[in-house]
Chains A and B, each alone.
Chain A
Amino acid sequence: MNRYSDKDLEKLLSAGEPAPAPEGLAQRIKDDIPDDLSLAPAPPTEGPVELAPDPRFGPRFGLRRSLVLAATLVLALGAAVFFQRHRAELAPALFEGPPVGARGTAAAPAAAEGPAPAPQRGDGALNDGAQRDRAEALAEALQPSTPLTEASAPDALRRQGERADRGDVYRSSDDAGSVGAVRQEKLEAAKKELRSRLRQIAPVGDPSEGRGLAPQEPAAAGAGTVEEPRVRGGRDERKSLGKPVVARSRASFDEEIQVTAPLPVFESRGTHSSLSVDSADAEAEQSGADGDMAVVFRPAPEPVAAPPSPPSTGGTGVPNGAAHDAMFFDSAGVHPFVDAEDDALSTFGLDVDTASYTLARRYLRDGDLPPADAVRVEEFVNYFDYGDPPPEPGEGDFALTAEGAPSLYGPGERYHLVRLAIRGRDVASEDRQPSTLTFVVDVSGSMDRENRLGLVKRSLHLLLEQLRPDDRVALVVYGSAGRVVLEPTGNKGRAAAAIDALVPEGSTNAEEGLRLAYALAARHREPGRIHRVILCSDGVANVGETSAEAILQRVRGHAREGIELTTVGFGMGNYNDVLMERLANQGNGRYAYVDGIEEARRIFVTSLTGTLQTLAAEARAQVEWDSEVVSRWRLLGYENRDIADERFRDDTVDAGEIGVGHTVTVLYEVKTHRPLRRRDRLGTLHLRYGSIAAGEMVEQSLDIRGRDLASTWDGASRSLRLAALVAQTAEVLRESFWAKGTDLDDVFRRTQRVATEYPGDTDVAELASLVGTAAKLRGRR
């Protein structure tokens, strides 16, 4: 077995004379040198350069750490001595080769003397799963009949190349400091992905969504001989690697696993007992060591985190064995920076949900920090009104604007924050289509807690007052069973009486409630009306005998027929954010969280027209960055809305719905190659959506130019500064890598200042106080 020592390998690797470079190469290279080379001045410290700590190992060793290290060494030495003494008994079981002993410490030099440990599968330095992966790859690679060419590189190797490349791109063009960032990012992304995969019992999106690639797709076309089922086309794979979670988890999970399982309930606070990375070892193959966390997922023979339908909670049950007060969230990770040269396109579905902000507000008001997984940056940002102008009459459905400024929180120089605003046309209340609203109200036992049902009833009364005589309301409730309480009626008095009569009862059968509501809505369908099912629930769902996928499929199917689903969340404790958001996504509707009657007023009164009347369906945006100007970019938020670039014009891809008068705000952090000039074009925003007015897919676009950006932070508009502070607050609360080191107190002070520029806007004033609360709570941790 003792074939190659490290020295042999080193010799082999170093073998061969360096080939002399071809003549003329130097000249070719020199001809390419541009005239306007710019180089940063030398770093301030002369002499030996201080190394930043490797993030995997935490901060630089201080005294305490040194002590811990010393203690660890003593223990390790003891263990080594013990091992040496009991070698005879232990060795056969552990090694075939000579023992490593104390020599094999982490810092052992590569050229350590003596024979190296034999390459056993049990070798502690190696990851078993990774070995298998590697072994497969090599077996493939070393087939005599398959020379390793670019075209035929085995898929496993190719994938690895892609992964590696993906990760490296960030390193190549940036400061050394971001290397740790990337690694940390990868690690976090992989962990999150793993967690989310295990939890993702109910596949989301259309099964065809995110699947493979069009045949002409480059990487797919050049792929190797055997198409493994879990291999996506190169582009999708790259996409998902750059943007850690979404594409991959959707694409491959849907395709590989048919799981029948209850609706997903995600635990975020407390322990991740059954969902830790460790427990997934059997299913997850980690390829790589030393923090290389490219994780490949395989379907489990039995769904690991898919217990049979949980018992009905009714407010007292124990869903999935989680603590009674567990809240259920999921995170799609955090977008990393992307090298514009490698990938200049950023594509995602638009989103006008605001639930994440109101949920976080509820937490903060209760004196708690929201769980990081509950924070979605875009939903924070979209909660606020930045005063963007609506389109001029005849200008189309949307007004697009761009602004920016040097980024206050960017990781270095020449970083700019760019704000893109997509402002929908207004429609007067009297001009919206008449609506038939079918409310599905959860009256299960859990709705009795903290008078959730009371809040629902008051909210519905508010809404009722806003309805026009030609609108109709129907009411379905579900507890242990679902039943129709009120057939569609225009009689507000009858509706009010029906709402008043609601009382909490029994367990939770959301499935039946939704089924009845859809049946009712479908029966009363009429052309020229808005048909909307509105689910009011805390999202704690026992879905009867049916799987989550079946419910989601039903919701999807009805959405296609024009009956949309809006979900309105109520309550705290056992609240299921994931389910509510997913349902609204599938139902082409909006997801809101009502943390108090004022939020109900906002949704059902102030912006009722926007809540009901859809302006654009399947709206998606694509920003094409100019890599000559922009060196790297990062989209803030929209992590769970990623769309593969090449599917921007694929209208079967599920995207977002935008109501009339709504504004979608998109923030990017971009780094430019050089100081920005007014005439520079940073990129172009493309918007594509199904225009309800025009009855067809429409595209609009806007160039983002240097002159749109302010040259200093203080010179930026109040809207940009507000958006930046909102986003940064969300970034801190979700513990984004990119917000590490941000002082929330500083954000607080700045938010207070911005609030003075928004006199009369209670939302901004409230934001300031919430940031203050969050800063205090974080300080206490």
Chain B
Amino acid sequence: MSHDPTPDAAASRAADERRLLGALAEGDRSAAERLVDLTYGQIFAALTKLTGGDRDLAADLTQETYRKAWRSLGSFDRRSRFGTWLYRIAYNTFLNHIRRPQPLQALDDGSASRLEDPARGQDDRLDRREVAARLRRAVIGLPDELRFTVTARFWGELAVEDIARLENVTGAAIRKRLKNAMARMRLSLGEDAA
């Protein structure tokens, strides 16, 4: 998949993370800054997708995510990847935000026309933004476990094995969740178009 980093890059990144966490455990505050450099782009990108493209909101939530992360760093047991753990916090931060009552501006334009059927060969006529908006709704409408898995995989760009480690299940279980999520999304998108 296009967003997958090459295995080498991923491995070296994981090694960087481990080194920085080691330094952090020894009280090296600058290691925290380096960890930010290493991870914030991905967290921001994921939150941008989660928020439906609201970059200002995503930036705020990213900042909030790190604040929470520093506070609960003591509970990070380093069994999962730092970035994965961070994504879980970002995801929760987003859900917390959604739940917040104060009216906020619309995240995306709900007046888009109905999603059309790619089987008709009209892909080129589809407005990408509309598709993205509908897709996002379908994702947000998933049961939590599936929603978390799908967003972590595709928007957080996390590897299946990393998500599995964080969720404390096997990679197969994560792949099953993804499959299940796809089936549900297909259903909701299909009903949408019907």
Give the interface of A toward B (CB within 8 A).
1-4, 6, 8-10, 12-16, 18-22, 25-26, 28-30, 32-35, 37-43, 49, 51-52, 54, 106-110, 112, 116-117, 119, 123, 125-126, 130-131, 134-135, 137-139, 141-151, 153, 157-158, 160-165, 167-169, 171-177, 179-180, 218-219, 221-222, 234, 287-292, 294, 341-342, 414, 631, 671, 673-674
Contact = CB atoms under 8 A, between A and B. Distances in A.
Contacts of B140: 141, 148, 157, 161
A311 B135 CA distance: 57
A356 B84 CA distance: 44
Contacts of B33: 30, 33
Interface string B21-41: 110110101001100110011
A40 B141 contact: no
Name the residue in B36, B104, B179, B180 with the highest tally of chain A Cβ atoms < 10 Å from its Cβ: B179
Contacts of A131: 184, 187
B154 to A, nearest CB: 4
Given A29-B66, A173-B72, A673-B71, A119 B186 contact: yes
Assign chain B's interface to a size class.
Answer: 35 or more
Contacts of B27: 37
Contacts of A16: 49, 128, 132
Main DSSP-derived SS at the B contact region: helix
Contacts of B106: 147-149
Contact of A110 (B36, B131, B182): B182
A43 B77 contact: yes
Interface string B163-180: 011111110110111111
B162 to A, nearest CB: 11
B159 interface: no
A43 B79 contact: yes
A26 B37 contact: yes
Contact of B183 (A117, A180, A287): A117
Most buried by A among B29, B45, B168: B168
Contacts of B63: 25, 28-29, 32
B44 A33 contact: no
Contact of B107 (A52, A143, A148, A165): A148
B3 interface: yes
B40 A35 contact: no
B101 A149 contact: no
B193 A3 contact: yes
B96 interface: yes
B36 A158 contact: no
Contact of B192 (A138, A167, A180, A291): A138
Given A3-B118, A32-B66, A148-B137, A163 B144 contact: yes
Contacts of A125: 179-180, 183
B88 to A, nearest CB: 5
Given A42-B78, A134-B188, A165-B96, A218 B101 contact: yes
Contact of A9 (B67, B74, B177, B182): B182
Contact of A19 (B48, B89, B105, B177): B48
B183 A126 contact: yes
A160 B78 contact: no
Contacts of A165: 92, 95-96, 99
Label chain A's interface by main secondary structure: loop
A52 B175 contact: no
A25 B132 contact: no
6 contacts: A33-B66, A40-B76, A123-B187, A147-B108, A290-B173, A292-B145
B111 A176 contact: no
B112 A21 contact: no
Given A107-B175, A125-B180, A168 B131 contact: no
Given A26-B37, A37-B24, A222-B101, A110 B179 contact: yes
A54 B103 contact: no
B119 A219 contact: no
Contacts of A25: 40, 44, 59, 62-63
B55 to A, nearest CB: 6
A150 B137 contact: no
Q: Which 10 A-B pairs have the closest CB atoms?
A: A147-B110, A164-B144, A222-B101, A288-B143, A110-B178, A151-B103, A13-B154, A119-B187, A218-B101, A107-B172
A475 B95 CA distance: 59
A3 B144 contact: no
Given A26-B36, A52-B168, A160-B141, 18 more contacts: A1-B190, A10-B1, A25-B40, A33-B66, A40-B25, A40-B74, A40-B76, A41-B25, A42-B25, A119-B190, A126-B184, A134-B184, A144-B112, A148-B106, A161-B95, A168-B91, A171-B88, A292-B143
A9 to B, nearest CB: 5
A164 B147 contact: yes
Nearest to A136: B141
Given A126-B183, A144-B112, A176-B79, A149 B107 contact: yes
Nearest to A414: B74
B141 A34 contact: no
B25 to A, nearest CB: 4
B41 A21 contact: yes
A631 B176 CA distance: 33
Given A52-B168, A176-B79, A39 B99 contact: no
Given A33-B70, A42-B25, A151-B103, A21 B40 contact: yes
Interface in B1-26: 1-3, 18, 21-22, 24-25
